[in-house]
Chains A and B, each alone.
Chain A
C-alpha cells in the first residue's frame, strides 16, 4: 500500500500536474490562435473591444449576474468555487509537500478554516448536483461530464477530511490517502480535456463568444456573396 502511495504522489502526481499545466497552456495558445484566425476570416473592424473586455471581466467576477435567473444556485456556485480553489492551495500539509519537493512555500490558512471550507465545499457540491438534476431545464442541457465531475471533485475533499481526522476515519489511513491522491491526480489529468478547462479558458472562450456576438448579423451571407458562393452549402 505504501509503495502505491509513494508512486501515486511521486511520478504519477508529477505526470498529472504537468499534464494539467502544459495542457492548459496548450489550450490557451490554441484558443488565441483560433480567435485570431476567426477575426482575420471575418474581416470585421467594428468589434467594440472595450465592451468585450469589460463583459469578460464581468463574467470572471459574476457578482452582477447572481440575482438574475436562479439566485440560490448562483450563490452556491460561487461558494463552491471559493472552497474548491482556496482549500487545496493553502492547506498546510500541501504546502509542506511543495516545500519538501521544491523548497517553495507560502502562507497557509488556519486548520480550522480549512476544515470548515472542506465541509462547505462538500455541501455545496451536493447542493449544485441537486440543483442541476432537480431542475428540468438544467437537466435537459446537462452532459454526462456535468453530472459525473461534481462527485469526482468531492472525493479528494472527503478523503482529505478523513485523513486529517483519524478518529472519524473508518478505514486504513494509507488507503484513504491513496484514494485522496489518486482522485486528485485524475482531476488534474481531466482538467485540460473537460469543462474543467475553464480554469484558464474562461477568459479566452468568453472573449471568443463576445467577439462572435459582435459580428454583424447575416455577415456570413455577405462573405458568400463576396466569394461568389451564394446558395452553396457552407
Chain B
C-alpha cells in the first residue's frame, strides 16, 4: 500500500499548490494568476482543462454504448470505472471552467438567457446535461452500499432507467464532443489552415472516440499498477483493437480533408506549425494505431501502455494546439502559461484522481473495494507533539496527506508575487518632462492657443503661428502627452519670480524642483522622502545622526528631524502648490493626480476671472488637444537624450 500512499501524497501536494492559487484567483481576479491577454483570452485552462478534459472523459459513453447498445457484455467489468472516469472528468471540466470564466457566479445564465445562435450555448447546455446524466449513471454505485430504504428505492429507479440514461448520454456527448469543434468554425482567420476545417466537429468527434478507448486502457493500467491488482488484459486488447480502427479512420479523415481542401502543401512546408501538426498526427493517431494493429503489442502491458499513453498525450496536445498553439501565427502574440495556470490545471486533475481513489476504495467500482484492510487491534502510534497515544489508525493517512497539503499551500502562497499577496499594485515610474520644439497657432474659433509638435514640412507658413520651445509632458511614456507652454505660463504669472507659484522649492538655492522627483509613480502614492538619496548626500556631514539625532530612539520617520528644519521656505506666499505641512514627511500623491490638481485648480480660477477671454480654460481639451493617431506617429521615435536640453535644469 506504500504505492497508493506515495501517489496520494503527491496528489495532495499538488492540490495544496492549486489551493493557494485558487485563493488569489478568486480574491484578486483572473489577471493576477494567468498570462492571458486580450489577444490570447483562451489559454491552458481552456485548452487542457476544458477541451482536453471533455475529450478524456469520452470513455464513459464509448464503453456504455459498447455494453448496453452493442451488447458486448464481456466489457461490463470496466463499465463502472469508465463511467466514473467520465463523471470525474466532467467534474474537472466544470471546476476548470469556474477558474476560467471571468465572473464564475454567472454560470447559471445560459440556462435562462438563451442564445440559440451561439455555439457556446450548445456547449454549455450539453456540459450541464451530460454531467447530470453521468452522475445519474454513476449514482447507483453509491446508493447500493447504503441499506436505507430511500436509498434502495432510488437505486431501483435509477437501475430501471439505465438504458434511457445511456442513450441520452450517448446523444449528448456526441453533440458535445463535436460542438466543441464547432466553436472553432467561427475563427477561420485565427486558426492555422492545417487545423481549421469545415468538418472540424467531425475531427473532434472521431478523435474523442479514439481517445475514449485509449483513456479507458490508460485508466485500467494505472489503477491496476497502483493497487497491484489483476489486469483485464483480454478486455483491454479488445479495446485496443477497436482503437486501432478508429485511429486509422481519424488519420485518414484528417489527411483526406487536407487533400480535399487543397491544403496538402502546408503539410511539408517545414514551418513550425507544419512540424507540430505532423508530430501531433504521428503520436496521436498513426503510431498508436500501428502499435494496436499488431496482435502481439496489444497483448503486452508495455504495448498497451505505450500506445494508449501516446494517444492520450497526442490528443491532449491536439486540443491545446487548436485552442492556442495554432492561433499564434495569426494573432502574433506570445503566450506561455504562468506557473499558476499549470498549478490549477494539474491540481484539478489531482483532485479528480483523489476522488477516484476514494470511490474505488470505498465502493464497488471494481469487483470489490480496493481499500487497505486494517488490523483493528494494531498498536497505535504516539502523537508526535503531545506524545499521547490516540487511536489514530483511520487518521494516520490524514496526518501525512494534510501535512503535504499544508506545506504545498504555504509554498504556493510564498511563490505568489508581492503584487498579488500584498496590497501594493505595480508601480509605473514617472519620468521627467522633455523640451521639444512646438508650433503654436491661434484659431479663430477659440481664444486659446493651438499646439502641435513642430514639423518643418507642415508648419512652414510663419504667418499661421510661431515655433516655440515647450515641454512635452508624458510622465508614463505611453505616447499620450500634453504640450505645455512653459514660457507663456511663466510670463503670464509674473516672470521669473513666479516659479514658486507652481513648483516646490525643495533644494537649497533651488528655484524649481521637478514634479517627478517626489511624485515618482503615475497613479500610486509614494514616499515624499528619498532615504537613500539623503543618506548618500549627508555622508560627509555626519550621516544618520544628521536627522536621527537621538541615538536612544528607534530610527523611524516619526522620530526623525522635520524636513523643514533644513529645507526652509519651500513654498512662496500665494503658491498654487497646496501641501499640508505634515505631508512633507509623509506620502506624495501620484503624479497624474498632482498635475491635474495643480493645473485644473489654477485654470478654474482664471476661467472665472476672465470669462469672456477663456470660457473653456478648465476643460480637458484646453490641455489635451488634438492628440490623435497622427500626433502619436510624430513623437515616435522619441528624441534622443543628447538633443534634449532639460528645462528643469535651468
Contacts and interface: CB of A to CB of B under 8 A. Distances in A.
Contacts of B556: 92-93, 96
A111 B406 CA distance: 36
Contacts of A197: 385
Interface in B390-423: 390-392, 394-395, 398-399, 402-403, 406-407, 409-411, 413-416, 418, 421-423
B553 A37 contact: no
A93 B377 contact: no
Chain A's interface size range is 35 or more
Interface in A97-144: 100-103, 111
A37 B413 contact: no
A62 interface: no
Interface stretch (A13-21, A79-87, A150-158): A13-21
A101 B391 contact: no
A202 B495 CA distance: 75
A193 B395 CA distance: 17
B383 interface: yes
Given A23-B406, A30-B402, A195 B385 contact: yes
Contacts of A212: 388
Given A14-B414, A19-B410, A30-B398, A209 B391 contact: no
Nearest to B383: A34
Contacts of B544: 166
A41 B386 contact: no
Most buried by A among B384, B390, B407, B551: B390
A142 to B, nearest CB: 14
B66 to A, nearest CB: 44
B406 A37 contact: no
B388 A10 contact: no
Contacts of B421: 14, 101
Nearest to B421: A14
B554 interface: yes
Interface string B442-475: 0000000000000000000000000000000000
B379 interface: yes
A19 B391 contact: no
Contact of B379 (A19, A34, A96, A234): A234
A201 B386 contact: yes
Most buried by A among B379, B383, B414, B421: B414
B394 A37 contact: yes
Contacts of A209: 386, 388
A205 B385 CA distance: 9
A208 B388 contact: yes
A164 B391 contact: no
Nearest to A101: B422
Nearest to B409: A22
A103 B406 CA distance: 25
Given A12-B414, A19-B407, A201-B386, A37 B391 contact: yes
Contacts of A27: 385
A92 B556 CA distance: 9
Nearest to B392: A34
Nearest to A40: B391
B554 A111 contact: yes
Nearest to A194: B385
Contact of B410 (A18, A41, A195, A229): A18
Nearest to B423: A103
A167 interface: yes
Given A23-B406, A26-B403, A103-B423, A15 B414 contact: yes
A68 interface: no
Interface residues of B, number: 35
Nearest to B394: A37
Nearest to A19: B410
Contact of A22 (B385, B392, B406, B418): B406
A1 interface: no
Contacts of B554: 92-93, 111, 164
Contacts of A35: 390
Contacts of B423: 101-103
B130 to A, nearest CB: 36
A16 B407 CA distance: 10
Given A18-B409, A102-B423, A103-B423, A34 B390 contact: yes
Contacts of B409: 18, 22
A101 B411 CA distance: 18
Interface in B354-409: 377, 379, 383-386, 388, 390-392, 394-395, 398-399, 402-403, 406-407, 409
A209 B388 CA distance: 8
Interface in A16-62: 16, 18-19, 22-23, 25-27, 29-31, 33-35, 37-38, 41
Contact of B553 (A111, A193, A195): A111
Contacts of A92: 554, 556
A173 B407 CA distance: 32
A11 B385 contact: no
Contact of B406 (A26, A194, A201, A208): A26
B377 A234 contact: yes
A199 to B, nearest CB: 11
B149 to A, nearest CB: 27
Contact of B390 (A16, A37, A111): A37
Interface string A64-91: 0000000000000000000000000000
B410 A22 contact: yes
Contacts of B390: 34-35, 37-38, 208
A211 to B, nearest CB: 10
A217 interface: no
A229 B376 CA distance: 12
B377 A167 contact: no
A171 interface: no
B394 A18 contact: no
A148 interface: no
Nearest to A33: B395
Contacts of A41: 391
A92 B553 CA distance: 12
Given A103-B423, A205-B385, A38 B391 contact: yes
B55 to A, nearest CB: 36
A226 interface: no
Contacts of A194: 385
28 contacts: A11-B414, A15-B410, A15-B413, A16-B410, A18-B410, A18-B414, A19-B410, A22-B406, A22-B409, A25-B406, A26-B402, A26-B403, A27-B385, A29-B402, A30-B395, A30-B402, A37-B391, A37-B394, A38-B391, A102-B423, A111-B554, A164-B554, A167-B551, A193-B385, A208-B388, A209-B386, A209-B388, A234-B379
Q: In the A-B complex, list the 3 residue pairs whose CB atoms are closest, starting with the nearest.
A: A15-B414, A18-B410, A34-B390
Given A15-B410, A37-B394, A208-B388, 7 more contacts: A12-B414, A14-B413, A14-B414, A31-B386, A96-B556, A201-B386, A208-B386
